[in-house]
Amino acid sequence: MSEANGDARKDATSATRAAQAAVAASLPADDGQDFALARRGFLGSIPDADVPGAWSQRPFAFLEGERPDTINPSLWRQARLNALHGLFEVTPGVYQVRGFDISNITFIQGREGWIVIDPLTSAQPAAAALELVRRLKGDRPVTAVIYTHSHVDHYGGIMGVLSPDDIARGVPIVAPEGFLQAAVAENVLAGNVMSRRATYMYGGLLPKDPRGHVDSGLGKGTSTGKVALVAPNVSVTHTGQTLTLDGVDVVFQVTPDTEAPAEMNFHFPQFGALCMAENCTCHLHNLYTPRGAQVRDAKAWAFYIDEALEMFAGQASVMFASHHWPRFGKEDVRVDLSEVLAKAEAAKTRTGPCDEEERQVADGAALWTKAKSDISEEDYADFYRSVAGQFDKPALTLHYRAEGRHEYSVLTFIPETKPFDLFDPDRKGRIKLYVRRVFITDEAEILPRYLRFVRGLVDSADLTLNM
């Protein structure tokens, strides 16, 4: 698009340039390690990863130049990493095609053929990837398919690697228990909403250029070929379950309610290769996703990464995932898993406010952090009604801040009207607990029970964040 065609998009203003410079200054120095890992084991590709009608990296050629001021420096770096494409050797017998879609397709060399992990979003790029691995590493049949989880970018392209005959003859299609239900719930029943919102979240309809669509973090974007949902015929129900597929042993760890409602990690002992699905990728995965997918449970996520560390870290000499590039060497696998675990642990407390009332309080309206002199009686009354869910006015307002050994703010109210359940002995306290403006719980029982009619909150800067 050009100005003449009515492109209203402007160059970066000085404010944008300053903001980008501040981001650039806050980033750690790039030691080149990720680029080296993302290039390691490159075996070959097709020009621009171009799959007519479904996918191409060609529009992203602008990533080879200097960063334009319209692009966030961190996004720029990730976009360049995601622009690398082709077939890569993860370890002898394990190969990945990356950059042919938003996700990765992985091929494991079995006794007779290829075991395919996650056949991309649509059939055409999956078929192109299969053709590439057959051309460079051996023309063999597909002997099994594994879906790591229930998101469409990991199963939608299955018809590019299996024929209707293969499916009829029962080629194993392995998935975590609950896969079909979760896939149908998120991508079929809520499919219109999910894809509509994904359009906004990923900017897929924007022109692909430095003022439009640059990258999606996980990859460039989703391919636009033929999508299918083929039901699995082998279900992985529990951690420790093992299968032998085409002569290759697989040890599974189920990880429900992590990145997806049905997801699993697995280890191939013969190859010392660990697949962490989409549970450990090379970015901080969003937990409260703006595209309308289910809110992720950071607590469960952290739990299962911890479990994976215990189960596999001593054994796996390489770790790969369904997006981004692998980690090589036992020590790096352990370190990377530990780092993701630490991020998930930290995220536990950052995903707290979900219901409307709590979100209003946490976002901006943190009245208790203001000076008393800046707050009117009406502000206090409004805040009281929102935090206490009452319609009257506070009879008494208590607002103070303590500093010193412990630092905390208190903003509490005594209601004007008597609560209808004042004398109910089972009535719970109504004080909400915040840590640095983030809502933590309303079940902390901060006040003695006889004061349970008091409404309000306590915000502490000192409590450890993973309570």
The footprint of Zn ion (CB under 5 A) covers 103, 151, 153, 278
CB of 310 to Zn ion, least distance (A): 25
Nearest residue to the partner Zn ion, using Cβ = 153
Is the CB of 54 or the CB of 411 nearer to Zn ion? 54
Structural tokens at position 324? 């981004």
CB of 153 to Zn ion, least distance (A): 4
CB of 285 to Zn ion, least distance (A): 9
Distances (CA, A) of 120 to 148, 150, 223, 229: 11, 12, 8, 12
Burial class (CB within 10 angstroms; exposed 0-12, middle 13-18, buried 19+) of 50 = middle
CB of 82 to Zn ion, least distance (A): 13
Is the CB of 103 or the CB of 124 nearer to Zn ion? 103
Is the CB of 102 or the CB of 302 nearer to Zn ion? 102
Is the CB of 70 or the CB of 104 nearer to Zn ion? 104
d(CA 158, CA 13): 45
d(CA 407, CA 97): 52
d(CA 109, CA 215): 31
279 contacts 305 by C-beta, under 8 angstroms: yes
d(CA 145, CA 406): 56
Phi/psi for 183 (5° steps) reads -65, -40
d(CA 340, CA 139): 37
Residue 224's nearest CA partner among 60, 51, 57, 97 is 51
Is the CB of 80 or the CB of 149 nearer to Zn ion? 149
CB of 147 to Zn ion, least distance (A): 11
CB of 103 to Zn ion, least distance (A): 5
Q: Side chain identity at 430, as an amino acid letter?
A: R
Is the CB of 194 or the CB of 458 nearer to Zn ion? 194
Is the CB of 143 or the CB of 187 nearer to Zn ion? 187
CB of 117 to Zn ion, least distance (A): 12
464 contacts 388 by C-beta, under 8 angstroms: no
